[in-house]
Amino acid sequence: MWEFTHYKTAFYLSVFILFIGIDVQAREHAVHIRGSTTLMPIAQKVAETYMAEHEGTKIVISGGGTAHGYKAVMDGTADIAMASSLIPDDIKNQCQLKGIELRHTLLGYATILAVVNPSNNVMNLSLTQLKDIFTGRIKNWKKVGGIDAPITIYVGPPTGGITDTWKSLILGVDDTYTPAGIVLNNSERLQKITTETNAITFLTLDKSNYEKLKVLKINNVSPDKFTVGNGSYTLRAPLLLITTAHPTAEVLDFIRYFSAPEQANNVGEMVRVVADEKDDHHE
């Protein structure tokens, strides 16, 4: 009988401790973030001001790319994924199989630049011309108002993020890149475009590199905060924070903080969404 009571007390005590435990843990739960290297430098600055203002919180950030981020949220090794492209189909399928619902918050956009060498006399391409160049239907600069010279095309490796977004903007679902397209990473493409007169590629970069290359207008629209924010400049990648359907209070609090207009100094080259487009929604 004594033993019985003893167990019972222990049981109630442990239930009590369990509740206390949950309460304390909920407030001290760290937020782990992985994913897009485009979004990472922005997230790092926001996280640092957040941690400085909220003593005892931990916002832990790693890169690895958009695809890595999506996977990490799906398997629970991260609380938030940073993404610079919408949910890829293979991840969508895996989520459906596992019954996982993902939720995304649009923070803003990264501007994708169509770039050529400064010596190139072409200033503007229509989106259709850009598509025709990357699919190989247009092979010579003279077809788009340039000199008589073959077009060299550089594309990005299939690592998700900006590369995926560019590909879906340019190729849609049906088209494919011309086999003549050469696959290089960002810094290699930047290097090529600054040295090769007939090259074209896409990049996201800060203004410090602008003088070494020429940024093309698309459909006669130059990229700037306004044209990217309202979508009239069409080459832009969504910058997203991805969570599961029911994130912890800490995760929601950090996402709210990140989305707030007061973060203007931290967001660098990210373009905030103009007006009514901003929305949290379920995928």
Partner 1 sequence: MNRRNFLAAFIASGGALVTGSAINAGGFGWHLPDQAMHSSLLIASTGSMFDLCQLLTHEYKKQNSLIDVINEKGDSLQGIIAVKRGAIDLAAISRELSSEEDDAESNSFLIARSNISIIVHPDSPIKNMSQNQVSNIFSGQITNWQQVGGSNAPINIVSRKRGSNTRKFVEDVVLAGSEITATAKEVDSTRQLAAAVANDIYAIGYIAAKNDSGGAVVCSIDIDGVVASHITVLSGRYPYTNSFYLLFSGEQAGIKFDFIRFVRSPAGQALVTKQGFVAVC
Applying CB under 8 A, the residues found at the interface with partner 1 are 24-25, 28-30, 32, 40-41, 43-45, 47-48, 51-52, 58-65, 67-68, 71, 75-77, 94, 159
Identify the helix (H) or strand (E) that includes residue 258. helix 249-259
Q: Cβ of residue 183: shortest distance to partner 1, in angstroms?
A: 15
Q: Cβ of residue 241: shortest distance to partner 1, in angstroms?
A: 15
In the chain the first and final C-alpha atoms are separated, in Å, by: 56
Q: Cβ of residue 170: shortest distance to partner 1, in angstroms?
A: 23
State how far the Cα of 11 lies from the Cα of 84, in Å rounded to an integer: 48
Q: Cβ of residue 259: shortest distance to partner 1, in angstroms?
A: 18
Query: Are the C-beta atoms of residues 142 and 226 closer than 8 Å to each other?
Result: no
Taking phi over 0 as left and psi of -120 to 50 as alpha, with beta for the rest, 199 belongs to beta
Query: Are the C-beta atoms of residues 213 and 117 closer than 8 Å to each other?
Result: yes
Q: Which is nearer to partner 1, 22 or 180 (CB)?
A: 22
Dihedral angle computed from the Cα positions of residues 31, 37, 38 and 41, in that order, rounded to the nearest 10 degrees: 60
Q: Which is nearer to partner 1, 94 or 198 (CB)?
A: 94
| Beta strand pairing call for 31-35 and 59-64 | parallel
Query: Are the C-beta atoms of residues 107 and 35 closer than 8 Å to each other?
Result: no
Q: Which is nearer to partner 1, 43 or 199 (CB)?
A: 43
State how far the Cα of 151 lies from the Cα of 170, in Å rounded to an integer: 16
3-state SS string for 213-240: CEECEECCECCCHHHHHHCCCCCEEEEE
Identify the helix (H) or strand (E) that includes residue 33. strand 31-35
Q: Which is nearer to partner 1, 99 or 172 (CB)?
A: 99
Q: Which is nearer to partner 1, 79 or 132 (CB)?
A: 79
Q: Cβ of residue 275: shortest distance to partner 1, in angstroms?
A: 31
Q: Which is nearer to partner 1, 70 or 141 (CB)?
A: 70
Q: Which is nearer to partner 1, 59 or 199 (CB)?
A: 59
Bridge partners, 241 (sequence order): 82, 105
Q: Cβ of residue 71: shortest distance to partner 1, in angstroms?
A: 7
Q: Which is nearer to partner 1, 159 or 198 (CB)?
A: 159
Cα–Cα distance list, 19 to 24, 58, 228, 243 (Å): 9, 22, 48, 25
Q: Cβ of residue 206: shortest distance to partner 1, in angstroms?
A: 15
Q: Cβ of residue 128: shortest distance to partner 1, in angstroms?
A: 33
